């Protein structure tokens, strides 16, 4: 069922294609690229999703350095966090600021670690790298990527693109339940809600429509921090417990389908409140995990244990609600469904390579929406977007919203798919090309607006 | 505790209230609640012993742009996103070229909802001093004791 297998099968079955491909390989400048020499690295602000081209799944590794402020003052880099058992009082050092790579000292520390024998055992000189960068990366930051990759690590070749573009290198039509032929749709709208922010990105014929892309300044980090703040104000002081609060968020929070109704339910007493959850905080001195416990009625809850319990009531859904109503915390931006409409309306027929009418165009986007990024994992996220879009979009449009099984690794999967296509070799810039032509070759091949050449600028 | 006296006499104007909201939104972007003890964390992956930097062997090499050492030294100079935004000069791009600065989504066409800053339920009232919302006398009391003017410098 895997998409990359499907692609590989198509190649093998189609003799003609196969022969053309062999010709291509022998007569072009880049020699044969073995998939085991390709490292696909989705460099997210929160986690790195990376593996060699021969793998089926990426490894997910924290993209940060963490130090413990007290006790042994131990530092954990990337995957080493898995060996950490006490998550209290940790200091984070993240390479990204508001979604952009600004701290190369931290990033290089993490990359040194993951390229080492301990993790990927990567020899850059013999490795072709496919790496992601954020949407609308700054030109000066892009230049630093080139320098680090070619001058500091000396990779054999590399291609830099956005995670959202890699997402649509998957067969997105398989995300919808209905029967269809699996031709790639001309229009796809990607909603990428990650750690730093949320982007709405319309693609036409595999290219992003840059003037129609929109960013909402809300991501998983802000949601965790907000939860941390309200919980600290209402119950326990958790301000120093980002790691724990992130776990609470992931296990308790959901997107409400009836916000005002759920808010009313939360006013009821424990017995009749179907929303209230009791989260037992981890006790690191006893090495215990946090978990949601069975609700206890008032009469039996005579303190028999020294468990610290967090009562998660309206916090469960008012936090993810910010993605849909940023104004709830005073941010002057519209929420995801409204911005989807705004973005689709910003795609104009004249941005198209062929004549198309505006209504058809919008219809194509509404029926090819793809949700990716960690925030998609909130239960109820997809159905709420569908529900809100049904209200906001013109009634005669079909609304089709798809979400991959794993919205976090979907970009990596798309990348893993893309490296089997002949276009991949065309996109790669080799180290010798870089040494000869400098940054300009990267600008030309990767596209200026970072998104492999923009459709509207032609 | 002198704040308590201030609260009764001072009324924040709208500009200050907006500034407080913005300050709060910036707070929500923080990686750490407490300041990071810088020295304890830098584990020296990029910083080489200082004296070797001075030994310049780049002359012997081919005309490569710069040495790896020099590159790493340049990159260890920390610049935040604002500094990089300024350096990128994307604010001077022609208006028809979309950039980081132009793609921020606009505001909602629906009016903002009002929630109690204490308990999180719907709120009908705003604090006369700071403008934060509250839903009941009980929550107003809590607000006055703990939150009111908290974000004011
Ligand atoms: Zn209240
Ligand atoms: Zn007040």
The CA distance from A292 to A458, in Å, is 55
Q: What pLDDT sits at residue B46? A: 43
Cβ burial of A119 (10 Å; 0-12, 13-18, 19+) is middle
Option in B24, B30, B41 nearest A93 (CB):
B41
Query: Phi first, then psi: what are they for A409, rounded to 5°?
Result: -100, 5
Q: Which residues of B touch A63 (CB under 8 A)?
A: none
pLDDT, position A12: 53
Query: What does the pLDDT look like over A99-158, one tens digit per residue?
Result: 999 999 999 999 999 999 999 999 999 999 999 999 999 999 999 999 999 999 999 999
H helix and E strand count, chain A: 16, 20
3-state secondary structure A18-46: HHHHHHHHHHCCCCCCCHHHEEEEEECCC
Residue whose C-alpha is closest to residue A194's, from A383, A334, A400, A48? A48
Rounded-to-integer distance, Cα A246 and Cα A293, Å: 18
Q: What is the pLDDT of residue A353?
A: 78
Q: 3-class SS at A204? A: strand
The nearest CA of chain A is from the CA of B53 a distance in Å of 16
From chain A residues 106-135, the ones with a CB under 8 A of any chain B CB are: 108-109, 112, 135
Return d(Cα A135, Cα B100) in angstroms, integer.
8
Q: What is the DSSP string of A39-67?
A: EEEEE-SSEEEEEETT-SS-EEEE-SEEE
pTM assigned to the model? 0.87
Give the domain A220-322 fold: Actin; Chain A, domain 4 (3.90.640)
Distance between alpha carbon A204 and the CA centroid of its chain, in Å? 20
Which of 345-404 (A) contact B at CB < 8 A? Answer: none
Say how many C-beta atoms besides its own lie within 10 A of residue A103's C-beta.
20
Q: What is the pLDDT of residues A344-360, one digit of tens each?
A: 999 998 888 788 888 88
Residue A111 CB: number of other CB atoms within 10 A? 28
Q: Is the Cβ pair A334, B108 closer than 8 Å?
A: yes
In contact, A346 and A398? CB cutoff 8 Å: no
- Where does residue A73 fall: left (phi above 0), alpha (psi -120 to 50 degrees), or beta otherwise? left
A325, burial (CB in 10 Å: exposed 0-12, middle 13-18, buried 19+): buried
Q: Give the helix, strand, coil percentages of chain B, each rounded to 5.
A: 40, 5, 55
Distance of CA B14 to the CA centre of its chain: 21
Phi, psi of B95 (to 5 degrees): -60, -20
In order, the DSSP letters of A295-312 are P--GGG-S--S---EEEE
pLDDT at B61 (0 to 100):
38
Q: Compute the distance between CA of residue A74 and CA of residue A209 in angstroms, rounded to an integer.
A: 46
CA B144 to ligand 2 center in whole angstroms: 6
> Residue A333 and residue B104: Cβ atoms within 8 Å?
yes
Residue A8 has pLDDT above 80, yes or no: no
DSSP string over A415-454: HHHHTTSHHHHHH-EEHHHHHHHTHHHHHHHH-TTSSSS-
Question: If you average pLDDT over residues A52-73, what whole number do you get?
Answer: 89
Of A337, A312, A320, nearest to A380 (Cα)?
A: A320
Answer yes or no: do A91 and B27 touch at CB < 8 A: no
**Does any CB of chain B come closer than 8 Å to the CB of residue A339?**
yes
Rounded Cα distance, A166 and B67, in Å:
33
Question: CATH homologous superfamily of domain A174-217+332-403?
Answer: ATPase, nucleotide binding domain (3.30.420.40)
- pLDDT tens sequence across A259-284: 999 999 999 888 889 999 999 999 87
DSSP code for A136 = T
Taking the C-alpha atoms of residue A275 and residue A254, their distance in angstroms, rounded to an integer, is: 10
Ligand 1 centroid distance, CA of A343 (Å): 36
Q: Quick check: A264 contacting B, CB < 8 Å? A: no
pLDDT of residue A458: 40
Give the nearest partner residue to B31 out of A77, A92, A105, using CB atoms: A92
**Residue of A138, A221, A315 lying closest to B90 (CB–CB):** A138
Identical fold, A35-166+410-446 and A174-217+332-403 = yes
Instruction: Give the number of A-B residue pairs with CB atoms closer than 8 Å.
Output: 175
Hey, what CATH class is A35-166+410-446 in? alpha beta
Query: Which pLDDT does position A324 carry in this prediction?
Result: 98
**Local confidence pLDDT in tens for the 153 residues of chain B:** 444 445 556 788 888 888 888 988 998 999 888 766 554 444 444 443 333 333 333 443 344 556 788 888 877 778 899 999 999 999 999 988 999 999 999 999 999 999 999 999 999 999 988 889 999 999 999 999 887 876 543
Domain range annotation of chain A: 35-166+410-446, 174-217+332-403, 220-322
Pairing of strands A309-312, A277-280: antiparallel
- C-alpha distances (whole Å) from B66 to each of A153, A421, A440, B88 are 14, 35, 17, 22
Question: How far apart, in Å, are the Cα atoms of A318 and each of A249, A275, B29, B106?
Answer: 11, 12, 18, 22
Given this model, what pLDDT does residue A266 score?
Answer: 94
Closest approach of B118 to chain A, Cα-based (Å): 7
pLDDT over threshold 70, residue A180 = no
Min Cα–Cα distance to chain A from B135, Å: 13
Q: What pLDDT is attached to residue B43?
A: 43
What distance in angstroms lies between residue B28's CA and the mean position of ligand 1's atoms? 22
Q: What is the dihedral of CA B134, B136, B138, B142, to 10 degrees?
A: 0
Residue B86: the pLDDT is 94
DSSP state of A319: T
The helix/strand/coil state of A279 is strand
**pLDDT for position A133:** 96
Residue B120 Rama label (left phi>0; alpha psi -120 to 50; beta)? left
CB-CB contact of A248 with A232 (8 Å): no
A351 Cβ contact list (under 8 Å, min separation 6): A204, A209, A211, A212, A455, A456
Contact with chain B for residue A101, Cβ under 8 A: no
Angle at A348 between CA A342 and CA A351, to 5 degrees: 130
């Amino acid at each position: 069922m895997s998409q990359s297998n499907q692609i590989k099968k198509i190649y093998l079955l189609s003799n003609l294609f196969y022969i053309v491909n062999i010709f291509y390989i022998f007569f072009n400048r880049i020699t044969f690229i073995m998939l085991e020499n390709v490292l696909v690295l989705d460099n997210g602000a929160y986690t790195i999703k990376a593996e060699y081209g021969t793998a089926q799944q990426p490894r997910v590794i924290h993209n940060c350095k963490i130090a413990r402020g007290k006790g042994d003052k131990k530092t954990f880099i990337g995957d080493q966090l898995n060996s950490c058992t006490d998550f209290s009082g940790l200091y984070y050092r993240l390479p990204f600021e508001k979604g952009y790579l600004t701290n190369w000292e931290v990033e290089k520390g993490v990359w040194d670690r993951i390229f080492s024998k301990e993790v990927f055992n990567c020899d850059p000189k013999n490795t072709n790298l496919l790496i992601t960068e954020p949407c609308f990366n700054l030109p000066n930051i892009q230049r630093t990527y080139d320098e680090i990759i070619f001058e500091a690590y000396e990779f054999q070749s590399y291609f830099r693109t956005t995670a959202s573009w890699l997402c649509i290198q998957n067969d997105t039509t398989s995300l919808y339940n209905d029967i269809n032929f699996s031709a790639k749709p001309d229009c796809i709208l990607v909603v990428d809600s990650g750690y730093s922010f949320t982007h709405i990105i319309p693609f036409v014929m595999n290219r992003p429509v840059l003037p129609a892309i929109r960013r909402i300044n809300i991501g998983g980090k802000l949601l965790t921090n907000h939860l941390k703040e309200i919980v600290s104000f209402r119950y326990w002081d958790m301000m120093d417990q980002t790691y724990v609060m992130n776990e609470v968020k992931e296990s308790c929070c959901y997107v409400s389908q009836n916000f005002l109704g759920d808010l009313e339910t939360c006013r009821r007493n424990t017995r009749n409140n179907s929303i209230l959850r009791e989260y037992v905080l981890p006790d690191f001195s006893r090495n215990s995990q946090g978990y949601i416990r069975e609700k206890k009625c008032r009469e039996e809850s005579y303190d028999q244990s020294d468990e610290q319990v967090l009562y998660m009531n309206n916090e469960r859904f008012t936090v993810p609600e910010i993605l849909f109503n940023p104004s709830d915390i005073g941010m002057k931006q519209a929420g995801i469904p409204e911005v989807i409409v705004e973005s689709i309306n910003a795609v104009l027929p004249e941005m198209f390579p062929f004549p198309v009418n505006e209504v058809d165009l919008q219809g194509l986007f509404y029926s090819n929406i793809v949700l990716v990024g960690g925030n998609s994992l909130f239960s109820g996220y997809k159905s709420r977007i569908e529900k809100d879009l049904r209200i906001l979009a013109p009634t005669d449009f079909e609304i089709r919203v798809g979400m991959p099984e794993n919205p976090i690794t979907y970009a990596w999967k798309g990348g893993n798919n893309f490296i089997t296509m002949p276009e991949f070799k065309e996109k790669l810039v080799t180290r010798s090309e870089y040494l000869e032509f400098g940054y300009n070759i990267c600008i030309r091949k990767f596209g200026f607006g970072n998104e492999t050449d923009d459709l509207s600028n032609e | 505790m002198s704040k308590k006296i201030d609260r009764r006499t001072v009324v924040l104007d709208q500009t200050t209230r907006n500034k407080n909201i913005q300050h709060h939104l910036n707070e929500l972007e923080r990686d750490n609640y407490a300041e990071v003890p810088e020295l304890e964390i830098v584990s020296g992956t990029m910083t080489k012993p200082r004296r070797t930097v001075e030994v310049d062997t780049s002359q012997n090499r081919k005309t490569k742009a710069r040495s790896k050492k020099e590159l790493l030294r340049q990159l260890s100079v920390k610049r935040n996103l604002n500094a990089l935004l300024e350096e990128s000069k994307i604010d001077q791009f022609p208006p028809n070229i979309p950039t980081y600065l132009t793609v921020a989504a606009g505001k909602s066409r629906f009016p903002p909802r009002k929630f109690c800053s204490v308990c999180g339920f719907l709120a009908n009232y705003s604090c006369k001093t700071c403008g934060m919302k509250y839903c009941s006398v009980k929550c107003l009391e809590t607000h006055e004791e703990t939150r009111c003017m908290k974000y004011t410098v």
